[in-house]
C-alpha cells in the first residue's frame, strides 16, 4: 500500500523516528481510542496528498516570480521598518543559520533582526551571531550570561528594536521570502490596522518537507480564547507591544498567546487583519509544540493562565479549563444573577409525538432554572396535538396561533413578539436535548454584551454530526461543515471541540437576546419564508456589530426536517433556488468570501479539506 506507506513514513520521520511515533500513537489511543487513531491516520494520508497538490497549483513561488514581487516592492508608497524579534537558546548551528538566512533573504529590505541569546553555553551560538552581525548592520544582538527564559529574552530583543512593527520569529523556524513584503503591502492598504497575522505550515526537522498547513479564519476572538490560532506570522505595532509591557514573565510556553490577547482585546474588528497566505514555516521536532503538543504540558497551564487573566482584565466573569483530550481551552461564562428568563420558541404543526418528545427532553433534562415555552402553532387539526396543547397550557406553556400557510420566519417573529424572556431560544420541534447544561451554556453565551446569535452542536440520531456552524459559499450558498462525520471527530485544527465565531448558525437551535432580535427586525417573512432565513437573520445581527458564536458545549439531537421533509420535490427545489439567489444577492460579500472559511479550503465539500479544484 505505497499510497498509505509513503505519507505515514514521512510523518514518522517528522516526529523523529519509530520510538517517538509509538509514544504519540499511545497518547492518541489513550485519549481518542482505536477509532480516533484510525481517523487521524486517514486524515494524515488525505492531507499529505492534498497539500502537496495545493502547493504545486496555488501557492506563491517567490523564487520563481521574484521579478513580480520586486515590482510590487517598487510600487509601495510606505515602507515601514519591521523589527524581527528572535530569542535564541542552544539552537543547533544549521537551524540557527537557516532561521537568520530566512530573514536576510527577504524581498522587502526594510527590516532589522533583533536577537537575544538567552545564555547559551554552546560556543557556536555566539560565534554565528558575531559573524552574521558583522556582515549585516541590520542584525543586532545581545547576550544573557545565564538562561532567563523566552519572555525575558524576547523583551531584551525588543529593547533593540527601532522599527514601527514587531514580528516574532522562533529560533528554529523560517520566514518565507515574501513574508515581510506581504506584511508591508497589507499595512499600506489598511493604514489603520494594528495587528496582522498570516497562515502558516509546518516543516520537518530537516526543513525539506512542508505539511499541515493552517489555513486560518479571519479575526475570531472566541477561537483565540480556545487556543493561539493566530500564532505565526503575527505582526504588531511596536508602540502597542511596549505600552503593554512586552512579553510577561511566568507565562513561558504561552507568552505569545498572552501578548496577542493583551493587544487585540483593545482593538476593533477592522483593526485586525488576516493575510490568507502561508508566510511562515514552523519547524517540527519531538520537543517542540509544532511537533508534539504534549511535549510541553507547562505551556497548556500557561495558556489557561493567559486566558483567565485576559477575561479578568476585560471584565468577563468566566472560568477556564483544559479539555481532557487536547491542549484546548473551554471558557465557561457565568450567567448574570438573577438568571434571565429564557423563552424557548418552538414552531409546530400537528406531529404530537415529535413535539411531546422534544418538550419532555427539555423538562426532564434541563437544569437551567428559568425558562418558558412558547409554541407557535401553524393550524394544527390533529386531536392528539390539540390535547397536548391543552396539557401544555395547564403547565404554564403558551400556545400562539399562526393559521396561515407555513412561513417559518413569520412563526418565529410571532414567537419574538409573544416571548417575555430576555433571551430567545429558537428550537425546532424535531430536536431532543442531550446534556443537562445545554440551556445554561446558550444563555451564558447570549448574555455577553458583544455576542449576537449562539448556535449549538446538533447530532443525527446515530450520533453523527448534523450541525457545527454554517459556512457561506460552500456547496452552494451555505453549508454545514462536517455533516455526517463521527461525533467524536476533532475537526480542522480542533474546531469541532471549541467555541468559535461563525458568520451564521442554524435556527434549529439558536439563542439570541430578545432586544437584538427586535433591533434587526426579526426574520424576513416576506422573501425568505421557508429556508435560509436563519442565515439572513445571523448576518443582519453580525452587520449590527455583534459576534455570532457556535459552541460544542450545548448538544442536542436533531431529526433534521423530519416534520416537514427534505427539499426534494421540483416545487421545493425551485423555491429553495429562489431563496438562495435572494440570499446571495443580499449578502454577496459573505457568500463570496466567508470570513471564517479560508479561500484555500474546498468549496465543493462539507468535509473542510484543502482545496484541489
In contact, 29 and 38? CB cutoff 8 Å = no
Provide the 3-class DSSP secondary structure of residue 546: coil
What CATH number has the domain bearing residue 400?
3.90.550.10
Same domain, 98 and 160: yes
Of 453, 427, 447, the closest CA to residue 340 belongs to: 447
In contact, 502 and 217? CB cutoff 8 Å = no
Left (φ > 0), alpha (ψ -120 to 50) or beta: where does 84 sit?
beta
| Residue 396 CB neighbours (<10 A) | 8
* Structural domain harbouring 53: 2-58
Query: In the beta sheet, which residues pair with residue 167?
Result: 84
Chain segment 142-184, per-residue pLDDT in tens: 999 999 999 999 999 999 999 999 999 999 999 999 999 999 9
Same domain, 351 and 414: yes
Q: What nine digits make up the cell of 233?
A: 506570522
Same domain, 16 and 118: no
In contact, 204 and 211? CB cutoff 8 Å = yes
In contact, 308 and 316? CB cutoff 8 Å = no
Same domain, 177 and 314: yes
Terminal C-alpha separation, the chain:
26
> CA angle 472-407-411, nearest 5°?
100
Domain boundary among 285, 318, 351: 318
The predicted pLDDT at position 15 comes to 46
One DSSP character per residue, 102-160 reads: HHHT-SS--EEEEEEE-S---HHHHHHHHHHHHH-TTEEEEE-SS---HHHHHHHHHTT
User: Is the N-terminal amide bond of 27 cis, ω within 30° of 0?
Assistant: no
Same domain, 287 and 374: no
Q: What nine digits make up the cell of 370?
A: 428559568
- Would residue 609 count as lying in a domain? no
Same domain, 586 and 468: yes
User: How many domains, in total, are found in the chain?
Assistant: 3
- Would residue 605 count as lying in a domain? no
Q: What nine digits make up the cell of 10?
A: 514521512
Of 16, 67, 375, 52, the closest CA to residue 205 belongs to: 16
Same domain, 370 and 276: no
Provide the 3-class DSSP secondary structure of residue 14: helix
Q: Phi and psi dihedrals of 150, rounded to 5?
A: -65, -35
Same domain, 532 and 585: yes
- Would residue 568 count as lying in a domain? no
CA distance readout (Å), 160 to 115, 142, 179, 482: 8, 8, 21, 47
One DSSP character per residue, 134-148 reads: HH-TTEEEEE-SS--
- Would residue 602 count as lying in a domain? no
Of 358, 374, 380, 369, the closest CA to residue 416 belongs to: 374
Interval 373-388 mean pLDDT: 97
Same domain, 106 and 196: yes
Domain boundary among 31, 58, 85: 58
The predicted pLDDT at position 208 comes to 87
Give the pLDDT band of residue 294 (cuts 50, 70, 90): very low
The proportion of the chain whose per-residue pLDDT surpasses 70, expressed as a percent, equals 91
Of 346, 342, 345, the closest CA to residue 368 belongs to: 342
Chain segment 97-126, per-residue pLDDT in tens: 999 999 999 999 999 999 999 999 999 999
- Would residue 422 count as lying in a domain? yes
How far out from the chain centre does Cα 366 lie?
Answer: 28
One DSSP character per residue, 493-559 reads: GGTTSS-EE-SB--TTEEEEEHHHHHHTTSS-TTT-SSSSHHHHHHHHHHHTTPEEEEEEEEEEEE-
- Would residue 330 count as lying in a domain? no
The predicted pLDDT at position 24 comes to 66
Distance from C-alpha of 293 to C-alpha of 290, rounded to nearest angstrom: 7
Give the DSSP H or E segment for 259.
helix 255-264
| pTM, two decimal places | 0.91
Distance from C-alpha of 124 to C-alpha of 95, rounded to nearest angstrom: 12
Same domain, 199 and 302: yes
- Would residue 183 count as lying in a domain? yes
Same domain, 112 and 248: yes
Same domain, 305 and 405: no
526: CB partners within 8 A, 6+ apart: none
Q: Average pLDDT, whole number, for the chain?
A: 92
The predicted pLDDT at position 40 comes to 62
- Would residue 506 count as lying in a domain? yes
Interval 498-514 mean pLDDT: 98
The predicted pLDDT at position 33 comes to 73
Amino acid at each position: 500500500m505505497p499510497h498509505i506507506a509513503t505519507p505515514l513514513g514521512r510523518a514518522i520521520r517528522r516526529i523523529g523516528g519509530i520510538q517517538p511515533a509509538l509514544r504519540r500513537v499511545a497518547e492518541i489511543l489513550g485519549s481518542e481510542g482505536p477509532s480516533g487513531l484510525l481517523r487521524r491516520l486517514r486524515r494524515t494520508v488525505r492531507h499529505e496528498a492534498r497539500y502537496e497538490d495545493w502547493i504545486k497549483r496555488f501557492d506563491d513561488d517567490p523564487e520563481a516570480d521574484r521579478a513580480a514581487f520586486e515590482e510590487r516592492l517598487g510600487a509601495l508608497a510606505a515602507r515601514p521598518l519591521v523589527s524581527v524579534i528572535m530569542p535564541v537558546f542552544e539552537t543547533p548551528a544549521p537551524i540557527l543559520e537557516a532561521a537568520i538566512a530566512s530573514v536576510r533573504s527577504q524581498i522587502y529590505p526594510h527590516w532589522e533582526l533583533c536577537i537575544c541569546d538567552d545564555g547559551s553555553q554552546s560556543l557556536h551560538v555566539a560565534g554565528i551571531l558575531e559573524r552574521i552581525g558583522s556582515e549585516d548592520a541590520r542584525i543586532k544582538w545581545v547576550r544573557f550570561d545565564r538562561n532567563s527564559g523566552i519572555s525575558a529574552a524576547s523583551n531584551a530583543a525588543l529593547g533593540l528594536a527601532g522599527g514601527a512593527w514587531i514580528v516574532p520569529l522562533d529560533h528554529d523556524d523560517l520566514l518565507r521570502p515574501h513574508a515581510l513584503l506581504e506584511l508591508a503591502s497589507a499595512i499600506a492598504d489598511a493604514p489603520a490596522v494594528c495587528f496582522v497575522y498570516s497562515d502558516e505550515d509546518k516543516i520537518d526537522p530537516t526543513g525539506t518537507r512542508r505539511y499541515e498547513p493552517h489555513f486560518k479564519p479571519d479575526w475570531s476572538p472566541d477561537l483565540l480564547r480556545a487556543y493561539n490560532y493566530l500564532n505565526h506570522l503575527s505582526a504588531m505595532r511596536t508602540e502597542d507591544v511596549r505600552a503593554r509591557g512586552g512579553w510577561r514573565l511566568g507565562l513561558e510556553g504561552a507568552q505569545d498567546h498572552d501578548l496577542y490577547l493583551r493587544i487585540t482585546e483593545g482593538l476593533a474588528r477592522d483593526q485586525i487583519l488576516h493575510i490568507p497566505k502561508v508566510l511562515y514555516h514552523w519547524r517540527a521536532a519531538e520537543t517542540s509544540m509544532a511537533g508534539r503538543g504534549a511535549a510541553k504540558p507547562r505551556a497548556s497551564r500557561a495558556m489557561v493562565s493567559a486566558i483567565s487573566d485576559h477575561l479578568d482584565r476585560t471584565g468577563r466573569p468566566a472560568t477556564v479549563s483544559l479539555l481532557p483530550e487536547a491542549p484546548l481551552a473551554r471558557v465557561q461564562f457565568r450567567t448574570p444573577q438573577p438568571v434571565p428568563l429564557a423563552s424557548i420558541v418552538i414552531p409546530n404543526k400537528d406531529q404530537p409525538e415529535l413535539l411531546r418528545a422534544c418538550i419532555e427532553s427539555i423538562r426532564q433534562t434541563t437544569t437551567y432554572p428559568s425558562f418558558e415555552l412558547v409554541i407557535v402553532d401553524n393550524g394544527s387539526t390533529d386531536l392528539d396535538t390539540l390535547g397536548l396543547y391543552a396539557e401544555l397550557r395547564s403547565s404554564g406553556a403558551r400556545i400562539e396561533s399562526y393559521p396561515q400557510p407555513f412561513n417559518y420566519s413569520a412563526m418565529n417573529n410571532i414567537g419574538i413578539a409573544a416571548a417575555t424572556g430576555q433571551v430567545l431560544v429558537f428550537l425546532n420541534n424535531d430536536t431532543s436535548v442531550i446534556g443537562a447544561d445545554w440551556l445554561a451554556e446558550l444563555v451564558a453565551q447570549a448574555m455577553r454584551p458583544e455576542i449576537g446569535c449562539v448556535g449549538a452542536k446538533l447530532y443525527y440520531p446515530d450520533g453523527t454530526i448534523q450541525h457545527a456552524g454554517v459556512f457561506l459559499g460552500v456547496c452552494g450558498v451555505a453549508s454545514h461543515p462536517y455533516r455526517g462525520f463521527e461525533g467524536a471527530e476533532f475537526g480542522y485544527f480542533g474546531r469541532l471541540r471549541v467555541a468559535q465565531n461563525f458568520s451564521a448558525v442554524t435556527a434549529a437551535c439558536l439563542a439570541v437576546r430578545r432586544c437584538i432580535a427586535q433591533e434587526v427586525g426579526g426574520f424576513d417573512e416576506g422573501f425568505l419564508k421557508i429556508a435560509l432565513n436563519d442565515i439572513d437573520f445571523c448576518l443582519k445581527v453580525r452587520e449590527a456589530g455583534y459576534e455570532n458564536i457556535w459552541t460544542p458545549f450545548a448538544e442536542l439531537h436533531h431529526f433534521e426536517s423530519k416534520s416537514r421533509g427534505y427539499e426534494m420535490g421540483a416545487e421545493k427545489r425551485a423555491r429553495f433556488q429562489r431563496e438562495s439567489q435572494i440570499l446571495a444577492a443580499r449578502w454577496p460579500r459573505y457568500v463570496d468570501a466567508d470570513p471564517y472559511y479560508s479561500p484555500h479550503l474546498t468549496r465543493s465539500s462539507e468535509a473542510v479539506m484543502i482545496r484541489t479544484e
